[in-house]
Amino acid sequence: MRIEIFTSSDTMPELIEGSVLQSASIFRTIENNRWCKPYMLVAYDDNGKEAGHLIVIKRKSLILLPPIIKSWYIINGEGVYSEDCTNREEIFAAFLEKVFDLFGFQHAYIKIHNIDDSRFAYGTLSSCNFVPIRDRKLHISLHSKPPQERLSRAYKAHIRKAENMGVTYRQATSESDIAAGTALLRNYYRSKTRRTFPDARTLDAMLYAPDGSISSNAKLFIVEYKGKTIGSSICIYDKERAYLAYCCGLRKRYPLQYPGIMSIWAALTDAYNEGYPHFEFLEARGCSRIHYTFLNTLSNYGSKQTGTYRWYHFRWNWINKILRAIYV
C-alpha cells in the first residue's frame, strides 16, 4: 500500500464518494483560505486502486501576546474507504503515521473529531498517545416521523406564535440575501471562542457552485421579520445526512419572534422536505458541560444524544501522558 498527498484540487484525482466532511468539495472550499491549508491523503492498494482517503487540515491563528502564529491540525472524521475495504483501521493507522512523518513537531496539537463509531481505531489512537475527551453528537431521525411530531409542546407554541406574528424563513437565493445572512452569522461568531466562522472566500466556495450558481451541497437560510433579517443558519448536505453547521438569531432584540429557534427550524424542515433521513447538529460537537442550555435547546427538537470522543495529541509528550492519566 502506498499513500500519496495532494495539496491542490487541480492535481487531485477522482475520489471515492463518501462523507461530505471528507469530500473533494470541502477540500476546494478551504484550499484558498489563508489561515487553512488542506492535505488530501489517498491510499492505494497493490493494484493501484484507491482504498481510501483522509483530509488533514492545517489551521493557523495569530496570538498577540506573545506575538506568535500558532498552528494545529484537524482530522474531521475517520476518512472514506472503498466498499470492499476490510482493513480500514490499518489504513487509518498508516494515515496517522504519514501525518506524524509530515508534520513532526510543527503543531501545537492534532485534533481528531466527528468519528461516528467511538470504537473505531481506539487501540491505534491510544498507542499513539492520543488523549480521548468525551464528546457527544446530537441527531434526529427524519425517516420515521416528521419533525413537527418531534417538537416539544413549548417549541410548537413558540414556532406557531412566531409565524402568527409574521416571521418567515426561506433559503437565501440571491447575493443580497447571502450577504445579510453571513453578516449576521459573522457578528455572532466573532465573540465565540470555541467556534470559528469561515472567511468570505471560504463562504463563497461553500455557498456557490463553480459556475456561480447557488450550491446544492450547502444552503444558507434566513429568518425575516418586517423585512429585516433576524436569524440565519447554514446547513451542509451529505448523501443521507444533513449537518447544521452554523446558526444564530437576534434573540435579545427580538425575543418574542424566537429567531434562534426559527433559524434551526428552517434548516430542519428543509432537510425533511428534501428527503434526508438524518439530521445532525455539528454545533453540538465539542460542547462542554457549561453549554447545557444550548444542548437542552436542541433536545426540544426531538434530538437523540450519542456518546463519542474527541482525540488530542499535543506536541509535548509529557502533556499527553498527564492528560491520559486524567481522562483514561
Residue pointed to by grid coordinates 457549561:
290
Predicted confidence band of residue 292 (pLDDT cuts 50, 70, 90): low
Predicted confidence band of residue 213 (pLDDT cuts 50, 70, 90): confident
E strands, 64-167, are 68-76, 80-81, 109-113, 131-141
Q: What is the pTM of this model?
A: 0.85
Most confident of 34-43, 161-170, 293-302: 161-170
Are the C-beta atoms of 136 and 307 separated by less than 8 Å? yes
Residue/partner pairs of 269-276 with CB below 8 Å, 24 or more apart: 269/147, 270/171, 270/219, 270/221, 270/235, 270/242, 271/142, 271/235, 271/237, 271/242, 272/142, 272/146, 272/147, 274/237, 274/242, 276/142, 276/237, 276/240, 276/241, 276/242
Mean per-residue pLDDT of the chain: 87
E strands, the chain, are 2-6, 36-44, 50-63, 68-76, 80-81, 109-113, 131-141, 168-171, 218-225, 228-237, 241-249, 278-281, 304-314
Domains and CATH numbers, the chain: 2-128 (3.40.630.30), 138-307 (3.40.630.30)
In the chain, % helix, strand, coil (3-state, to 5) comes to 35, 30, 35
Angle of helix 259-273 versus helix 153-164 axis, rounded to 10: 100
Most confident of 100-104, 218-222, 277-281: 218-222
What is the pLDDT averaged over residues 184-212? 83
Amino acid identity of residue 307, one-letter, is G
User: Can you give the pLDDT at residue 41?
Assistant: 95
Beta bridge partners, 308, equal 135
d(CA 59, CA 75): 11
- pLDDT, tens digit, 9 for 90 and up, residues 180-194: 999 999 999 887 766
What is the pLDDT averaged over residues 285-289? 53
Of residues 195 and 170, the one with the higher pLDDT is 170
pLDDT of residue 323 exceeding 70: yes
Q: Over pLDDT 90: what percentage of the chain?
A: 48
Of residues 60 and 276, the one with the higher pLDDT is 276
- pLDDT, tens digit, 9 for 90 and up, residues 227-249: 999 999 999 998 888 999 999 99
Could you say which DSSP state residue 174 is in?
S
**CB neighbours (10 Å) of residue 316?**
11
What is the pLDDT averaged over residues 152-173? 95
d(CA 18, CA 5): 19
d(CA 106, CA 100): 10
User: Can you give the pLDDT at residue 131?
Assistant: 93
Strand 68-76 relative to strand 109-113, pairing: parallel
